[in-house]
Amino acid sequence: MPRTHSFSYRVSYGDTDRMDRVYYANYLEICERARGELLREAGFPYRGIETGGWFFPVRSCQARYFGYAVYDDLLLCRTRITRLRHATLAFTTDIFRDGSPKPLVSATVELACVRMDGRPDVIPPELRTAIAPYVEE
């Protein structure tokens, strides 16, 4: 049974748009925070990964919006790894308004492992081991 990472996020005024909702692109920054915290929990903070010479640029993302968050909502972000290949992986984050069982947004972000010069590389084995508990396939 794979592990899911939980992360709380408070919606700022700056996150909202004139429809009084979190602007659609801003959920993707929230997802970036969430997967960063998953990696920290796994013992591999992303800053350290970059210091080690690996980078994980985004290759694709997709998001579905079932509802919307408003100013000051406390959001619960539940993240798991829904794909793990040799040189790519994907995080799926479901974003809930606190207390609600149905996600407002569900987003999947696929990242590629590259070296500092942009060359694709395999995901380092220690990282692969560390994130294994979060992998759902």
Least distance between its own copies and beta carbon 1 (Å)? 28
The CA-atom distances, in angstroms, between 35 and each of 6, 40, 61, 94, 131 are 10, 9, 13, 11, 11
Binder to its own copies among 3, 71, 84, 135 (CB under 8 A)?
71
Q: Are 56 and 48 in contact (CB under 8 A)?
A: no
Q: What amino acid occupies position 47?
A: R
Query: Which 3 state secondary structure label does DSSP give 58?
Result: strand
| 25 in contact with its own copies (CB under 8 A) | yes
In the bound complex, what is the minimum distance in angstroms from residue 9's beta carbon to its own copies? 10
- Bridge pairing between strands 74-84 and 5-10: antiparallel
The nearest distance, CB 33 to its own copies, in angstroms, is: 5
- With CB under 8 A as the contact rule, the residue among 8, 52, 53, 59 that binds its own copies is 59
Amino acid residing at 80: R
Site residues (vs its own copies, CB under 8 A) = 10, 12-14, 16-21, 23-26, 28-29, 32-33, 36, 45-47, 55, 57-65, 68, 70-72, 109
